[in-house]
Structure formats: C-alpha cells, structure tokens
Structure 1
Amino acid sequence: MKSTLYYLLVFLLFFGCKNESGLTFEQDIFKSETCAECPEISIAIPKALGNAKISRTINTALEEELISLLSFDDEVEVSSMEDALKSFKSGYLELQQLYDDEPTGWEAKIEGSISYEDDSFITIILDSYLFTGGAHGYTSKRFLNFDKKKGVELENDELFKSTEDFRIFAEEMFRKKEKIPEGKSINHTGFMFEQGSFYLPENIGFTEKGITLLYNPYEVASYSDGAIELVLPHSEIKKYLAKKPKS
C-alpha cells in the first residue's frame, strides 16, 4: 500500500508541474464575408487558452500583429480584430471607387504556428501573404518570442548577453553561408545592407534547429531573391544567449 501511494504522489507531482508550465492552444480562425465586393481574407492563428499572464500576453501580441497587417487607414483607430477586418475591406472598397476598372481583388492569408517551445520559452511565427494590387503580393514572416515564466514578450536585445557579440558572430556565419570574402563589403555579392554594414534582422526566432535570422523581401535583397535566412544551431549560439532554451 505504501509503495502504491508513493508512486501515485510521484505521478501527480510530475504531471502537475508539467501542466503548470505548459500552454494549451486552440486554432482561432477569421474569414472574410462571401460577397462579390469583399476581399479574400483567411487567417488561422494559435490562441492560448486560460487566464494566465503568458496566455494573455501571447494573444494580445498576435492580435496587435494582425491589426498592423490589416489596417489601411492611419486616421482611423483600429483596436480589435473586427475593426482590422473592416479596415482591410474599407481600403479595398475605397480603391475600387477610385479605380473602378481595377479587376483584381485584395487578398490576405495569414497563418500562425509554434516554431519552438520548452518550459521557459515559446516562439510563434506568423506567415503572411498580402495582395493589395500591383504586380505581385507581399510575403513575409514574423517571429514572436515569449518568456513563459515571466509572462512577457521578449525584444531581440533581451535574447542575448551582448547583442554586439552575437552580431559579430552572425556576420561571420552569414559571410560563410553567402560566400562573401572576409575584408570585402557585406554587399559584395549583391546584398543591399544600408551603409554597407551587416546588421541583425528585425525577425529573430527560435526553432527546433536553433535560432533563425530572417530578412523579409526588400530588407537586404531584391524581391526576386525572396526571404534571406540564416539558421544557427543551438550548440553554436548557446554561449551568446541571455537564457538558454532547452534543445
């Protein structure tokens, strides 16, 4: 009897801790109205369940990103997803009134997924495609990093002990990957870094493979080059990190 009680306590202790530090998600889906005058909108993102601080932080951050992507009138305050969807539709209808011979509708496709999670960290990536007229649409990715224990979103600078030390290392790896000779300008092979100096991208996020540095189209290269990515394995970056994710 003693033995059975002991193992039961161990079981409850182990799984109780695991659930406390874990997060549960459901898929949140937004779609446009079905009508001839409506832009095509398809959004599917993870929604953190529960009332924990980290859940509220994640959901707020994702909503803010979606609002930023879909808002098309700087003079109108947009504070909710409902407002953002209306803003996107209004922007399309206003353009149609100005250019009624424009045959192509607008489109927004956004998908969110968890690219990394352990007991302390979680990274969510948003893949988006927006078409609002012109020759082609715009594809982009956005990494959002969170400290689960503190319940806060992390800025890029908070990921590293020294951002400058990491930048120097990242440039060395970038040059090696892109075959840019040491001593030559970072733009030697056709990149378009401002002022000819390497800098870290706005998008930095954890994956199971390591940490990804992601430059979206137009950031450091032409649209035809697509997104520029550099993946650095966990084993190579852990000494630069302020806190080490489990790999």
Structure 2
Amino acid sequence: RENGWSSGPYYQNMKYSVPYNQDNILSISITNDKYSGGAHGMTWIDTYNYDLLKAKQLSLKDIITDQKQSDKVNKYIREQMIARNKKGAQFWVEDFKSVNLTQDQFYYTNGGIVIIFGEYEYAPYANGISFFKVPYSIFK
C-alpha cells in the first residue's frame, strides 16, 4: 500500500494471430494488454509482415511506395474516419495527416491491407484500437 491506496490487480497478457498466410506473404499480429493501475489498462498491437521468398520483413513503405499512393491511402482513411463519425465514432479527423510508412502497424488481408491505429492515436480511448481495411484498388 502506498498513500492509502491498494495496489490492486496488475496484469499483462499477450496473444497472437496469423491474419494472413498466402502467396509467400505471412502476417503475424500480437495483441498486448497491460494494466498497471489507473482508470483502465492499455492495449496495443504489434504486427510483423514477411515476404517468405525474399526472407525479408516488410513495412508499409514496401507496399505504399510513392507519394501518389500515400495520398490516396490517406484520403481513403480520412473518408472512412468521417463515415464512422457519422455512425457515432469520435475520430479526430483534423489530427490525421498521414500514415507513417515506417512506424504504423499493418497486416495483409485478402485484397488489401489493414492499417492499425492505437488507442488515443486519432480517437478517444472509447473508440479502442482502430482498424482500416484499405483495398489494393485504392492505391495500386
């Protein structure tokens, strides 16, 4: 006990999934959940994407390779945020400028990729982790 407060239950969980494993592309998603006191815990996702033929880890810059493609993806995500806000979400659309091609999390899916934004990144905690499926047709 410190300052009269109980330490409470602390925990950390981790679970993984394989959202994509086709055509020599492998995506692994690891969900981390941690509570160390306060109003609520934090959850975040780490993803790992590999080209198995080249034995190379991939980042978004390997998929979105130029400014024109990046602009199209950013426009699409912004439009999705606006559409979700109309259905009750609370995205801070004005704060979203661009995906970060070296740091943002993503995984492959049939027909495109899913870009992940963490809690508080472009929305309040109540929105949770945000997933935006971006079809290849948007930027290829």
Describe the SS at the equivalent of 1:179: helix
Instruction: Report what 1:172 is aligned to.
Output: 75
The separation in 2 between residues aligned to 1:190 and 1:152, in whole angstroms, is 34
Say yes or no: does 1:110 pair with 2:18. Answer: no
The separation in 2 between residues aligned to 1:155 and 1:192, in whole angstroms, is 24
Structure 2, unaligned runs of 5 or more = 84-89
Instruction: Report what 2:97 is aligned to.
Output: 198
Say yes or no: does 1:133 pair with 2:49. Answer: no
| 4+ residue runs over 6 A deviation | none
Q: Which has the higher strand share?
A: 2
Larger Rg: 1
The separation in 2 between residues aligned to 1:197 and 1:119, in whole angstroms, is 32
* Structure 1 contact 145–205 (Cα < 8 Å) conserved: yes
Q: Which has the higher helix share?
A: 1
CA RMSD across the alignment: 2.5
Residue number among 119, 128, 132 corresponding to 1:226 in the alignment: 128
Q: How many percent identity over aligned positions?
A: 20
The separation in 2 between residues aligned to 1:116 and 1:237, in whole angstroms, is 20
- How many angstroms does 1:106 deviate by? 1.2
The separation in 1 between residues aligned to 2:125 and 2:26, in whole angstroms, is 30
- How many angstroms does 1:232 deviate by? 1.6
- How many angstroms does 1:135 deviate by? 0.8
Instruction: Report what 2:52 is aligned to.
Output: 148
Structure 1, unaligned runs of 5 or more = 1-95, 181-188, 240-247
- How many angstroms does 1:119 deviate by? 3.2
Q: 1:117 to 1:219 in 2, by over 3 A?
A: same
| CA displacement, residues 132-175 of structure 1 (integer Å, 9 cap, x when unaligned) | 1111001122221111112121122122332x222211122123
Q: 1:128 corresponds to which letter in structure 2?
A: N
The separation in 1 between residues aligned to 2:47 and 2:106, in whole angstroms, is 6
Length-normalised TM-score, structure 1: 0.47
